[in-house]
Amino acid sequence: MAAGPDKILAISGGVGGAKLALGLSRILAPEQLLICANTADDFTHLGLRICPDLDTVMYTLAGLNNTRLGWGLAGESWQFMESLGALGGADWFRLGDKDLATHVMRTHMLSQGRSLTELTRQLCRELGVEHGLLPMSNEPVATVVETDEGDLPFQDYFVRRQCEPAVRGYRFEGLEEAEPQAELMALLRDPDLEAIIICPSNPFVSVAPVLALQGLREALLACPAPVIAVSPIVGGRALKGPAAKMMREMQLPATALEVGRYYAGLLDGFVIDECDRDQASLIEGLGMKCLVTGTVMHTLEDKTRLARELLTFVRI
Ligand code: FO1
């Protein structure tokens, strides 16, 4: 039996992951939940270091997130962007006036030699976020999307080109130099770790970068705690972002089952939506338990209900 409080590790990308992270944060104490965010979407833009998935999770846990946009801060103003545009600056990546302060602070703290982990902890403290939020690594990893228009840095693909180019593949640059965040690796060896939850984020460009870090996948496989994932594909569609479109362009069926296949070997359990119930037996055939439930999260109640169901699922 675990000595201390049971701990949960959640691996998250952007919006979908942040919703489940919020649900988990409402039912777990701060010392029971650690959220590891993907940083392979990060880039330096206008001289500012921007970490979208860290910020989406941080703002969501702080209750400050812009639910209409799915990123950035609620109640935002855009004077900086207007002035930047008037000067001929790159205004394709929209930085709200309040959000801008986060990027300036992060860039400033990095220039002072603070690690991404330390400064994330500082920003979370200032925003009143008590649950642990960590970058997957303190060193940069960058997703490059290989498309029929050539290789695109992730934000160029996702924002500047609005995910239009057809995706042929993707790769993560910087993996040789990047170390998995130390607390993350320590938690994977912690006997109090009860489960690892892979949130409903894009498996290819939000979760895969975390799993690709040196030694991470081996640490996950060596960890006695069960690993479960929530499908980001519901009824053949991604609830947000290009996952389904990427799958079709990479000649993969855009189904929950295909996501299960992608994670096969790693998962003890896979969580799919009611509308994909007919895929449950095939998923079980992949050697993982399958939980069928409502996985679409609109309200806070949806998020906490799903979080509770996952904790029950891993405790079976
Ligand atoms: N996504 C967009 O589609 N358009 C934007 O202009 C945009 C700006 C932006 C600024 C800060 C930030 O943290 C995220 C932002 N995002 C924007 C979302 C971002 O591209 C995605 O959240 C992730 O990279 C994918 O999960």
- To test the pocket of ligand 1, the residue of 81, 159, 170, 245 to mutate (highest count of ligand atoms within 8 Å of its CB) is 159
Q: Are 195 and 223 in contact (CB under 8 A)?
A: no
Asked whether 55 lines ligand 1 (CB < 6 A), one says yes
Write out the chain's pLDDT in tens, 316 residues.
Answer: 445 679 999 999 999 999 999 999 999 999 999 999 999 999 999 999 999 999 999 999 999 999 999 999 999 999 999 999 999 999 999 999 999 999 999 999 999 999 999 999 999 999 999 999 999 999 999 999 999 999 999 999 999 999 999 999 999 999 999 999 999 999 999 999 999 999 999 999 999 999 999 999 999 999 999 999 999 999 999 988 999 999 999 999 999 999 999 999 999 999 999 999 999 999 999 999 999 999 999 999 999 999 999 999 998 6
pTM for the structure as a whole: 0.97
Name the closest-CA residue to atom 26, ligand 1. Answer: 14
Sequence spans of domains, the chain: 7-313
Asked whether 94 lines ligand 1 (CB < 6 A), one says yes
User: In the CATH hierarchy, which fold is given to the domain comprising 7-313?
Assistant: Rossmann fold (3.40.50)
Give pLDDT, residue 1: 46
Give residue 189 CA to ligand 1 midpoint distance, Å.
33
Q: Which of 109, 118, 12, 9 lies closest to 60, judged by CA?
A: 12
Name the closest-CA residue to atom 18, ligand 1. Answer: 71
Q: What's the Cα-to-Cα distance from 208 to each of 73, 100, 144, 202, 312, rounded to whole Å? A: 26, 28, 13, 8, 26
